[in-house]
Structure 1
Amino acid sequence: MKVGLLALQGAIGPHADALRELGAVPVEVRTPAQLADVDALIIPGGESTTISKLLDTSGLAQPLRDRLAAGLPTFGTCAGMIVLARTVLDGRADQNSYDAIDITVRRNAFGRQVDSFEADLAVDGLDAPLHAVFIRAPFVEQVGDGVDVLAAVDGHPVLCRQGAVLVSAFHPELTADRRLHELFLTLV
């Protein structure tokens, strides 16, 4: 199974390590041809407006929209959650969102970099808490029909799934716990 890692901005190395540990083949995606050749995609954390602009300048914006509309299994972490959302609050006017999951997400909802934190989350479907690293993290303000909220912090959804799209407000790749990457691979 080839899992693309959107390699325009953000740390992809830890995601690649997690995929290799689980037997998947990570593939860096920077061009439409590379996107066309993967079975699934991870959009990593980073800066969502920068990722949005780089999708435009790389020629990936429309091919990504097309693949998402065709059901490409996709996992967005932190900024990736923002990119995949239907609606983005506190974003730039020129920031694209890709409407792959019916959520309204608020950028930097938990505060600035100095407000970053870690927490143990109860996740629907997992038998033990998941340690999560939140860095300038978003959270979900509203979920649409068909969206499953798998975990929340202080009543705010931070892990959601709709069909073959999984999004997290945190960085699961920064821990040794591979259960979310494993869950994503079951969606492929």
Structure 2
Amino acid sequence: MSLTVGVLALQGGFQEHVTLLRKAADRLSSANAISAFSAIEVRTPEQLGRCDALVIPGGESTTISLIATQTGMMEPLREFVKTSRKPIWGTCAGMILLADEANATKKGGQELIGGLAVRVRRNHFGRQIESFVSDIELPFLSPLSTTYPGVFIRAPIVEEVLAGEGTEGPGERVEVMAVLPGRLRRGGGAAEEQVDAGHAGDVVAVRQGNIFGTSFHPELTSDERIHVWWLGEVILALGR
């Protein structure tokens, strides 16, 4: 039962993800869930082709997009997500890149990988000096503790779930996985309406099919619980 997981290493916190993935794999190996594991940095289509699953780290989404386009990685990434439909997880900038639409982009917009039928708003909480850490509830971590220290740095939120082809199929509906309560969206009026009436607060984690997105930075903690959970989901998705 072997597994190779890549971390896109064009910019951002890729090394931190590699470290936590290896810690998570050690835990799963001790439970006999993985017999051989590799976490590799991905910068080329050839390296991407070796991967069973991929993480796109936090960083600067515009920069990652630009480098991916310049190095010929954008189309292989789209094929990985949309055609091969391999498991992929985007954190902060990574979630922006996986979204079908993004608001508050820089002048001229930015190229997205897409595949996740949501509209995100970049830098929802403001500038880097307004970064914060807040405990959030992640029910999918059960039976472990479900309280997790969310690190938010110029973080996006999910503004809206989009209607699109495939979103109503089995396993394809966008699922809200975590909400940051007690914070209204900027702008007032309709901008403060929730993505789903059943969720009070900002939507900060979602899943749709093979795609998982978090607006916070698990890689900037020493807590590998989300990485353990996600690797377990990867194993189930790959039928191993």
CA contact (8 A) 1:164 1:187 kept: no
Q: Is 1:109 matched up with 2:124?
A: yes
What amino acid sits opposite 1:180 in the alignment? I
Match of 1:180 in 2: 226
Q: Percent identity?
A: 45
Equivalent of residue 19 in structure 2, options 17, 20, 23: 17
Larger radius of gyration: 2
Q: Distance in 2 between matches of 1:85 and 1:120?
A: 24
Match of 1:81 in 2: 95
Q: CA RMSD in A?
A: 1.2
What amino acid sits opposite 1:67 in the alignment? F
Equivalent of residue 124 in structure 1, options 112, 115, 139: 139
Deviation at 1:126, TM superposition (A): 2.6
Deviation at 1:94, TM superposition (A): 4.2
Deviations 1:131-173 (A, max 9, x none): 1111111111012451111111131100111112111111001
Q: Distance in 1 between matches of 2:176 and 2:223?
A: 20
Q: TM-score, normalised by structure 1?
A: 0.95
Moved more, 112-121 or 84-93: 84-93
Give the unaligned 5+ runs of structure 1: none
Deviation at 1:184, TM superposition (A): 1.6
Match of 1:43 in 2: 56
Give the unaligned 5+ runs of structure 2: 26-36, 168-172, 184-200, 235-240
Q: Which has the higher strand share?
A: 1
Q: TM-score, normalised by structure 2?
A: 0.75
Deviation at 1:91, TM superposition (A): 1.1
Q: Distance in 1 between matches of 2:75 and 2:45?
A: 9
CA contact (8 A) 1:81 1:167 kept: yes
Moved more, 147-156 or 90-99: 90-99
Q: Distance in 1 between matches of 2:24 and 2:218?
A: 14
CA contact (8 A) 1:6 1:43 kept: yes
Secondary structure of the residue aligned to 1:22 is helix
Match of 2:213 in 1: 167
Equivalent of residue 147 in structure 1, options 164, 174, 179: 174
